[in-house]
Structure 1
Amino acid sequence: MTLTLVDLTHPLTSGMQIYPGDPEVRVEPATSLADDGVVVHALQLGTHTGTHLDAPSHSIADGATVDRLDLGRLVGPLHLVDVTELAQPGRRIELAQVAAQLEQLTPGAVVVFRTDWSARFGQPDYLAHPFFDAAIAERLLAAGVTVVGVDTLSPDRTDATAASADLPFHEVFLGAGGVIIENLTNLSAIDTARDPWISALPLPFTGLDGSPVRAVAMHRA
């Protein structure tokens, strides 16, 4: 069987946009062919850099860490929810506005919300993204969905001026053992008519709260 792959991942580069307050991203040569015979680079980045996943321990005390996640949950049928017509700066997207697209959920599916806000990645207004009411998280969990993805910085509102994060969607979804994939991109390239699947596997960081992923959608060619 031939598969078509769609890359849903932002490139990792020095100085790339990050969540306010997260570690800056730096990629620097550590060795060179001329001096050392091999090329090696040094990386500095946070666990929530670029396209990444949040493990429950990101915001839940005693929540599961990345290395304790069942990888089988992170490869599965992709259920795409199109909310591009609702995507406005700082707008809360309510359950009633997406309920019709959540009627045929399959337990174990990975639900991904498409806003197309990823086109603004790297720009200041990327932070003013639409966000999702926590009731949507409750609806997903009730349907047996434990992995959700967004093409924004977060499913919750991002307030760069707040002293601490207010994360009601995270609290509900991660609090139930769910996983959140953030900063997806290129969702418009997914062919929903071909029963796509998604893979978003993390690095096996021991005891950590998140990890960059290489998110890929796949369907039959």
Structure 2
Amino acid sequence: MKIVDLSATIYHNMKVYPGDPQVRINIVHTYQTHEWELRELSMGTHTGTHVDAFSHMHVGGQTIDKIPLEKFCGKAWVANPQEILPKQCGLVFREEANIDLLEKIIAAQPPFVAGVITADLERELLRQEIITYTDLVNLDLLPVDQSFLFYGFPLKIKDGDGSPVRVVAILE
């Protein structure tokens, strides 16, 4: 078994989407002052590698705390837009997937779509209640023509529109 970390590292003042809150990580306690370390985090819910709830782009859409955990993991496949997409399997795009693929993706019935996707495609996938993950790294380490297990659980944020996640792929 091999585990591939698909998550970007979160750090103070990291680059964020224009207009999103800046990332602030401040040391509150140190070993010298309190005998332990503690950091305060301030960032947006769509910072770094993150998952989007249906409510992110649609009024009345389900929030992150209400989506069943089963939707955030499962069998996945690196998707090739020129080939037939596997059915009911998470799809991971290494290269930009755009709105032209919407019907093909919907026909495949994936529980989630991850990787490099345009905002227009993301909006429509969320409308169809297909979870989206963006800002993943190390996609080149995923196998082609072979399934793997994908895990990307969100923080349980009340009424959350999304959440940073630690996404991993488990390869056989």
Q: TM-score, normalised by structure 1?
A: 0.73
User: 1:143: which partner in 2?
Assistant: 108
Alignment match of 1:8 (pick from 6, 9, 12): 6
For the structure 1 residues 144 and 66, does the alpha-carbon distance in structure 2 shift closer, same or farther, using more than 3 Å as the test? same
Whose helix proportion is higher, 1 or 2? Answer: 1
Letter in 2 for 1:169: L
Residue 166 of structure 2: aligned partner: 214
**1:110 corresponds to 2:90:** yes
SS at structure 1 position matched to 2:153: strand
**Are the counterparts in 2 of residues 140 and 146 from structure 1 also a CA contact under 8 Å?**
no
User: How far is the alpha carbon of 1:132 from its aligned partner?
Assistant: 3.1
Identity of aligned residues (%): 28
Q: Distance in 1 between matches of 2:40 and 2:33?
A: 16
Structure 1 gap ranges (5+):
83-97, 116-130, 157-166
Partner residue of 1:120? Answer: none
**Matching residue's letter, 1:113:** F
Matches of 1:72 and 1:200, distance apart in 2: 10
Structure 2 length as normaliser, TM-score? 0.93
| Cα RMSD after superposing both structures | 1.6
Give the C-alpha shift of residue 193 in structure 1.
5.5
- How far off is 1:168 after superposition? 2.5
Aligned 1:82-101 pairs, distance under 5 A: 82=80, 98-100=81-83
2: CA distance, partners of 1:45 / 1:141: 32
C-alpha displacement at 1:170, in angstroms?
2.6
The structure 1 segments of at least 4 consecutive aligned residues displaced by more than 6 Å after TM superposition are none
- The DSSP-based 3-state class of the residue aligned with 1:66 is coil
Aligned to 1:58: 56
